[in-house]
Amino acid sequence: MVVALWLSGRGLQSLAATPADLLMSLGRVTGLVAADLLLIQVFLMARVPWIERSYGQDELARRHRLVGFWSFNLMLAHIVLITLGYTLADHSDVVHETWKFVTSYGGMLLAVAGTAALTVVTVTSVRAARRVLRYESWHLLHLYAYVGVGLSIPHEIWTGTDFITSPLARVYWWASYLVAAGAALVFRVGIPVWRTLRHGITVTSVVRESNDVVTVHMGGRGLHRLPVQAGQFFIWRFLDGPGWSRGNPYSLSGAPRPGRVQITAKDLGDGSGRLAHLRPGTKVLIEGPYGRLTGEHRVGDKVAMLACGIGITPMRALLEDLPYKRGDATLIYRARSEPDVIFRNELDELGRTRGITVHYLTGPRIPGRGSWLPHSHARWRDNDVLRRLVPDLTSRDVFVCGPDAWMEAVSKAALDAGLPAGQLHQERFTW
């Protein structure tokens, strides 16, 4: 659409004119596409329910990141091309022309500030930076994307050729801004605030599952009306003091029940460490539910669950909630050591009452091999072990949750063992 608007504004003809016109025309189209992608980027993470359920948060996050980097690179190209084009047209130098832009053109100072905000967001989105930053710090910095979008609008309205000359372009851009802003306000702010006030969720108790894992039990009003399924997650904010505004994503660790919900989290050195110190009565803000690691997409009646570490939390909820016959569910639970196995009593009880086959695989990793198995199984191939533990694997829906590298290894083993891709269900929660 924006390329069509550029063509209608004689963008193609300008390419064949003077070198200055060529640069300015290319600067226009890169700026238009960059702005369009920026709005798409905002919309992708606006938590629109039907889009989120179709793609899943992990896939939306991947596309959001990809679109964001393209938008930023095109924005830089726009700045360089426009500046060089006007420099040639005015027979000036780059420094003088840049200063003229910033001080003389409407909205340019705001655009510079917006560019700075978007640069911060882009730099901190690089994988190396994300590994260094805490989740809460990264999330706070990421909110500057909204500042960058907002500050760019006056520049586009006051000096953008399409805004000034084309009524169709004005309709398109205003509609795009309203859709993106409306989606973010409704689904990121409005609905979470409404659900928080409606259900009044508070902490009822905190139970320590191991040295570094706790379960937070919560109650509230009319929780049976909360449109949540086992396997989904919320963004949780606990009003327990400083830092309450920083939300963290945690899956439900038990099937949702009328009047109560629970989450289980490991202390990873970020906001998760605060959970152990929550007091009963602490009020909770919620945003969600999100995620598509649910039973909605099951193909058959039998299931196999593979979990590693804290990835057991949505698996336990699914095992409690999904319908299946005795003997039709298998759980393979990978943990670093026996003390790191959580919910053992509950899982063994599920095995007795619902006929679940449970396999605990504990021990250190296999060194030098990207395997999902512990060192004690090093002499076997990954897919052979999976076939032995779940002989009828190809007739089951397989749910996987755990660290990224482990999930990659499990997924590869399952597909190598002949599992159809449509029966593999997973969702990554890394940021």
Decide the pairing of beta strands 213-219 and 202-210: antiparallel
Instruction: Find tokens 């990421």 and name the residue.
Output: 142
How far are the Cα atoms of 124, 135, 249, 381, 431 from residue 131, in angstroms, in the given order? 10, 9, 17, 31, 10
Q: How many CA atoms lie within 13 A of 133 on its CB side?
A: 20
Dihedrals φ, ψ of 361, to 5°?
-115, 105
Mean pLDDT of all residues in 78-96: 87
Q: CATH assignment of 200-290, given 3.30.300.30, 2.40.30.10, 2.60.40.10, 3.30.56.10?
A: 2.40.30.10
pLDDT of residue 335: 93
pLDDT of residue 430: 54
Rounded distance, CA 6 to CA 165, Å?
11
The pTM for the full model equals: 0.80
Dihedrals φ, ψ of 124, to 5°?
-80, -5
Q: Can you state the angle between helices 108-123 and 135-142, rounded to 10 degrees? A: 160
Q: CATH assignment of 295-426, given 3.40.50.80, 3.40.50.2000, 3.40.640.10, 1.10.10.10?
A: 3.40.50.80
Mean pLDDT of all residues in 417-426: 93
Q: Which residues contact 282 (CB under 8 A, 6 or more apart)?
A: 202, 203, 238, 239, 240
Q: What is the pLDDT of residues 183-217, one digit of tens each?
A: 999 998 999 999 999 999 999 999 998 888 999 99
Could you write out the DSSP letters of every residue in 27-73? HHHHHHHHHHHHHHHHHHTS--HHHHHHH-HHHHHHHHHHHHHHHHH
User: Does residue 114 contact residue 152 with C-beta atoms inside 8 Å?
Assistant: yes
Residue 154 neighbours by CB distance under 10 Å = 16
3-state helix, strand, coil in the chain (%, to 5): 55, 15, 25
User: Does residue 299 contact residue 423 with C-beta atoms inside 8 Å?
Assistant: yes
Rounded distance, CA 26 to CA 11, Å?
8
Of all residues in the chain, what percent carry a pLDDT higher than 90?
45
Decide the pairing of beta strands 248-251 and 302-308: unpaired
Q: Pick the residue with more confidence: 128 or 297?
A: 297
Q: Which helix (H) or strand (E) holds 266?
A: strand 260-266
Burial class (CB in 10 A: 0-12, 13-18, 19+), 122: buried
Q: Provide the mean pLDDT of the chain.
A: 87
Choose the weakest-confidence range: 171-175, 201-205, 360-364.
171-175
